[in-house]
Amino acid sequence: MNITKKALTIVATASLLFGLAACSSTRGSSSSSSSSIEKGATIGISMPTKSMERWNKDGRNLKTKLEKAGYKVILSYADDKPSQQNSDIENMVNNNAKVIVVAAKDGTSVGPAVEKAHESGAKVIAYDRLIMNTKAVDYYATFQLEQVGTLQARYIIDKLGLEKGATGPFNIEVFTGSPDDNNAKYFFKGAWDLLQPYFKSGVLRSISKHGGGVDGNFSVDKWQSISVMSWKTAQTQTDMESILDSSYAHGEKLDAVLTPNDDLAQGVINAIQTKRPDMKPGTDSWPVITGQDANEIAISNIHQDLQSMTVFKDVAKLADAVYTMVVEIAQGKEVSGINSQMDNGVIQVPSKLLDPLTLDKNNLDEVVKSGFIPESRFKELTK
């Protein structure tokens, strides 16, 4: 009898444990599936400004794709104001956004807002600009940042014949992007890694005192001394006019200007046309001028020999990459295509990095082939 009771007790206990395990397993599966996001859910997209052509394209491309996939989209532009971007993101949280995509105006200032988003259960994707000093970033998508600067520097090196033994000395002026944009440092680092040895040898020199002076001992961590707040064309023009007045007012030759994007390039072009009308586009008197983004004005400028090149970052591909991230998150899948990690000062953020392309007069039509600019518009820009 005692043996029978013990056996029954063992069976009952095993059954109970099995039942608990089954319940636990069921709850685990249910939790896993609840991590998916229903169709029709709200996705937030926070862009930094409408004042730069590229952000309008970025926002429009991503919004269109997500809406076609059946999601509601809140698209906001922060008017170059960090406080406005924080308010925009908080509004997305209040509207129950499940994923929030942020192209930060200021990668540090936006931290509190994305932390609130995380607390609400939303996933946060940093778009093109890394969000700094917070754990509240799930993924990051951008282009190979240092490669942008590498392509710009490589173009200058090739055009001046430095690798072929040209000794100059060549006069070059150097600008960096907005001091509140974390990407600007990476763009400059990619360029400076190639250009600094030529400064050290004296083949390249900056004869102005812009930003306190750029020479062979200039280091990447000083990049903000030669930066342009908010990537403003007008500020770049003012700075470049000052450089020309102080250092190039007596016919001194300007061989190249490292400008990290097309807006700054336009400021440099405006300044040269105003202060040095003796410099003629398409001749040796006109400097090599670099850029980035393949803005419409840059396409026209390159065609007219005013700007030498631009680094083409196909924002449609970036929108595709982020769209895929959002859909995979929504479906509860592991995000694919992660090929790097970027340090935001607190965590290593899983990142998807795309390759940029050099455009100059020889391959400008790549913007048409990719669908970035319609052929009819391209013909207008290159008349």
Asked whether residue 254 is domain-assigned, the answer is yes
Alpha carbon of residue 241 to chain centroid: 28
Q: Residue 40's pLDDT is what?
A: 87
| Whether 151 and 245 share a structural domain | yes
| Whether 183 and 259 share a structural domain | yes
Q: Residue 22's pLDDT is what?
A: 37
Distance CA 348, CA 18 (A): 40
Residues of the domain holding 269: 145-313+376-382
- 197 — alpha (psi -120 to 50), left (phi > 0) or beta? alpha
| Whether 287 and 223 share a structural domain | yes
| Whether 187 and 208 share a structural domain | yes
Asked whether residue 269 is domain-assigned, the answer is yes
Distance CA 136, CA 123 (A): 8
CATH of the domain at 57: 3.40.50.2300
| Whether 304 and 322 share a structural domain | no
Alpha carbon of residue 119 to chain centroid: 26
Low-confidence ranges of the chain (pLDDT < 50): 1-34
Q: Which residues of 34-72 are buried (b: 16+ CB within 10 A; e: fewer)?
A: eeebeeeebbbbbbbbeebbbbebbbebbbebbeeeebb
148: buried, middle or exposed (CB in 10 Å: 19+, 13-18, 0-12)? buried
99-102 and 42-47 strand pairing: parallel
Q: Residue 28's pLDDT is what?
A: 31
| Whether 162 and 123 share a structural domain | no
| Whether 149 and 201 share a structural domain | yes
Task: Please give the tally of structural domains in the chain.
Answer: 2
| Whether 224 and 308 share a structural domain | yes
Residue 368: count of CB within 10 angstroms of its CB: 17
| Whether 106 and 170 share a structural domain | no
Cα-flanking dihedrals φ and ψ of residue 111, to 5°? -50, -50
Answer whether 177's CB lies under 8 Å from 264's CB. Answer: yes
| Amino acid type, 367 | V
Asked whether residue 31 is domain-assigned, the answer is no
Distance CA 62, CA 45 (A): 8
**DSSP result, 328-363:** HHHTTPPPP---EEEE-SSSEEEEEEE--EEE-TTS
Asked whether residue 202 is domain-assigned, the answer is yes
| Whether 198 and 284 share a structural domain | yes
Residue 109: count of CB within 10 angstroms of its CB: 17
Asked whether residue 258 is domain-assigned, the answer is yes
Asked whether residue 2 is domain-assigned, the answer is no
Answer whether 236's CB lies under 8 Å from 214's CB. Answer: no
91: buried, middle or exposed (CB in 10 Å: 19+, 13-18, 0-12)? middle
Name, in order, each residue with C-beta under 8 angstroms of 194's C-beta and a sequence gap of 6 or more: 150, 153, 154, 157
231: buried, middle or exposed (CB in 10 Å: 19+, 13-18, 0-12)? buried
Q: How far is CA 198 from CA 170, 188, 215, 253, 367, in A?
A: 10, 15, 10, 18, 33
Residue 112: count of CB within 10 angstroms of its CB: 13
How many CA atoms lie less than 13 Å away from 41 in the CB half-sphere? 20
Tokens representing 277 are: 């009308």
| Whether 73 and 203 share a structural domain | no
pLDDT digits (tens, 9 = 90+) for 35-79: 678 888 999 999 999 988 889 989 999 999 999 999 999 999 999
Indicate the pTM of the whole model. Answer: 0.84
Asked whether residue 275 is domain-assigned, the answer is yes
Tokens representing 357 are: 């392309």
| Whether 330 and 230 share a structural domain | no
Give 227's strand partners.
176
- In whole angstroms, how large is the CA radius of gyration of the chain? 26
Distance CA 383, CA 368 (A): 15
Asked whether residue 223 is domain-assigned, the answer is yes
